[in-house]
Amino acid sequence: MSQPDPVFDAPSGEAAPTGAADGASRALSRTGVLPSQALRALIAAGEVGGSTPIEEAQIQPASLDLRLGEVAYRIRASFLPGTKATVRDKLEGLTFHEIDLTKGAVLEAGCVYLVPLQEHLALRPTIAAFANPKSSTGRLDVFTRLIADYQESFDYVGEGYRGPLFAEICPRTFSVKVRTGTRLNQIRFRRRVSQQADEAPGRIGDKHLRAIHSDVGLVEGEAAIRDGLNLRISLAPVEPGGIVGYRARRYAGVIDMDNVGGYDVGQYWEAVYLGSDQRLVLDPQEFYILASKESVSVPPEYVAEMAPFDPMIGEYRVHYAGFFDPGFGYAAGKVPGAKAVLEVRSLDIPFIVEDGQIVGRLVYDRLTEIPETLYGQGIGSHYQAQGLKLSKHFRQP
């Protein structure tokens, strides 16, 4: 006998019993990303568990924050276990030393660490999961990826996965202090019941995306849509002589990942100003925080993810923390109200970007139903209505 569905058992389109952000939960699709109320059901069913109970604060509108465990392993190099090995099978020959995280410890820039997470999964055969760094992690240039047993890809666990989860952590610019319970990355769950012929499970194709934009407005004005919503970089200062971005200062000091608002911007970041040509040369040794020219919107029925790298538009990575929650930048009947902050690093060679140049794209997924609470609605969302904004660790100017 099959397990009851953790989201709803009624046919697609019938109302589910729980309340939603607009006062009534609305079933949208049997295939798609699971919202917060479905995550609570997965936890209650034991399909998502933890070595200590999962906290309500970990549950976001369409994702779950993951917590570091009690030990970190300083390892020689990044790795994947592949289909025939567990993570611990491979870890045994790669570990330099163990680090106790229970009282806090510094992870040094340029080093690679592996940390067993407190969460573990026992998913049903129709549910897979995928992960990304949290926004504040990516904006500090802390490269974080999920690894799971018998997997061939980072940030992904296949349908029906049962086993532990691990975080690979590599601080690139700043050394960071973490401890047991620190939340650096987050995980989404996607249920697949059926699949459209021309789309990944739950993924919104360009034709549908144009219809959504026509209906509610994904950006202000005309939308550039090709394999997702294309975004352009803003290198135009808000006022003459104004800041257009930030460049990270190396060797600036340690940042405690749990210290919100505790650091001066000037100690860790150099302001980027441009001349009249509105061009910026991306040095491959540097890390930049920039912003999109467009303000974007994620309507309540959808989630979005920034594609981090597209060789067709340049040899650089434009985003390390890719999840955009339902409700980000959204207000019914109003123009989109939040920029996409871009975490930019040129990969191998210096690269010139100009104001208005396409630098990335957002891909949208369906939700199975509208979340009970949207991004920015009383849940401590740090980046709603953002412009050019550094991570929450810095005292904002």
**Which pLDDT score is estimated for 23?**
39
DSSP 62: S
Inform me whether the pLDDT recorded for 131 exceeds 70.
yes
For residue 107, which phi and psi values (nearest 5 degrees)? -100, 120
**In CATH, what is the architecture of 23-191?**
Distorted Sandwich (2.70)
**Which pLDDT score is estimated for 383?**
47
Q: What CA–CA distance (Å, rounded) separates 390 from 316?
A: 20
**Which pLDDT score is estimated for 177?**
98
Inform me whether the pLDDT recorded for 93 exceeds 90.
no
The pLDDT tens digits for 320-332 are: 667 999 999 888 7
Inform me whether the pLDDT recorded for 12 exceeds 70.
no
The pLDDT tens digits for 33-64 are: 999 999 999 999 999 999 999 999 999 999 99
**Short-list 269, 265, 276, 266, CA closest to 241:** 276
DSSP 16: P
Tell me the pLDDT band of 113, cut-offs 50, 70 and 90. Answer: very high
Inform me whether the pLDDT recorded for 312 exceeds 90.
no
**Which pLDDT score is estimated for 272?**
92
* Cβ–Cβ under 8 Å, residues 69 and 113: no
Average pLDDT value for residue range 161-185:
97
pLDDT higher at 237 or 165:
165
Count of residues for the chain?
397
**Which pLDDT score is estimated for 379?**
46
**Short-list 337, 308, 342, 340, CA closest to 324:** 340
| Least trusted range by pLDDT, from 166-170, 199-203, 264-268, 392-396 | 199-203
**Short-list 290, 299, 335, CA closest to 317:** 290
Q: What CA–CA distance (Å, rounded) separates 331 from 328?
A: 9
The pLDDT tens digits for 339-350 are: 888 889 888 889
Select, from the ranges 220-224, 245-249, 308-312, 334-338, the one with the highest average predicted confidence (pLDDT): 245-249
Average pLDDT value for residue range 240-259:
90
Tell me the pLDDT band of 15, cut-offs 50, 70 and 90. Answer: very low
Q: What CA–CA distance (Å, rounded) separates 17 from 39?
A: 15
Phi/psi region, residue 376 (left: phi>0; alpha: psi -120 to 50; beta: rest), is: left
Tell me the pLDDT band of 94, cut-offs 50, 70 and 90. Answer: very high
Tell me the pLDDT band of 237, cut-offs 50, 70 and 90. Answer: confident
CATH number belonging to the domain at 203-366, selected among 2.130.10.10, 3.40.50.10300, 1.10.3720.10, 2.70.40.10: 2.70.40.10
**Which pLDDT score is estimated for 336?**
76
**Which pLDDT score is estimated for 308?**
67
Inform me whether the pLDDT recorded for 362 exceeds 60.
yes
Mean pLDDT across the chain, nearest whole number?
A: 86
**Which pLDDT score is estimated for 26?**
57
Q: What CA–CA distance (Å, rounded) separates 71 from 105?
A: 10
**Which pLDDT score is estimated for 172?**
93
Within the chain, which residue ranges are assigned CATH 2.70.40.10? 23-191, 203-366
Q: What CA–CA distance (Å, rounded) separates 365 from 190?
A: 9
Rounded percentage of the chain residues whose pLDDT exceeds 70: 83
DSSP 52: S
DSSP 203: B
Q: What CA–CA distance (Å, rounded) separates 225 from 66?
A: 32
Q: What CA–CA distance (Å, rounded) separates 182 from 140?
A: 15
* Cβ–Cβ under 8 Å, residues 32 and 367: yes
